[in-house]
Chains A and B, each alone.
Chain A
Amino acid sequence: GAVVSQHPSWVICKSGTSVKIECRSLDFQATTMFWYRQFPKQSLMLMATSNEGSKATYEQGVEKDKFLINHASLTLSTLTVTSAHPEDSSFYICSAREQGGKTQYFGPGTRLLVL
């Protein structure tokens, strides 16, 4: 149980384009989803927290107009990187948590390369 999927697993795009990453909880209802960013050989940095049906809460320093998060249902959250630039290249990981739960379950990650 507690499986989280991400799609796509790899994406390469040109600078200036937008990229959408999906995060799905497959066998539970995720009232809260989290989006992280991980640079090579570094830890995960929380970008934003989203609760189903409400606006995401962004961490300090994360541009909400650049990283659009939508959590429209209890099993799906999306992260859209708008007008991507090479410095946005990174490993993006989502996690999901049930209502009242303490444990976050992580997706397999999406590697983004912006050329």
Chain B
Amino acid sequence: AQSVTQLDSQVPVFEEAPVELRCNYSSSVSVYLFWYVQYPNQGLQLLLKYLSGSTLVKGINGFEAEFNKSQTSFHLRKPSVHISDTAEYFCAVIEKTSYDKVIFGPGTSLSVIP
């Protein structure tokens, strides 16, 4: 069955330090992968997505993610975080055989410390 795991529920990091938010998924078919960000008291918005091609995907606000098929992972990284990056981050998956539903991970709360 399709599932998404985000092992770190909370990640504190100092401003200007690098960060990696981990995402692993399980699926028996090929998938599309997404990272969404939710700022406090707002809805989710797309950060980046992997559909095909290059496994390194660049998104908005300096974030990037790398798809690793053998490890079924899609980790999100940023080399230098800002206070404004404090938010909840959700990894999500769509199976290519089923376009109807997106499966979201439980989320990782990123707190950037000044």
**A and B bind:** no
B interface residues (Cβ-Cβ under 8 A, vs A): none
A interface residues (Cβ-Cβ under 8 A, vs B): none
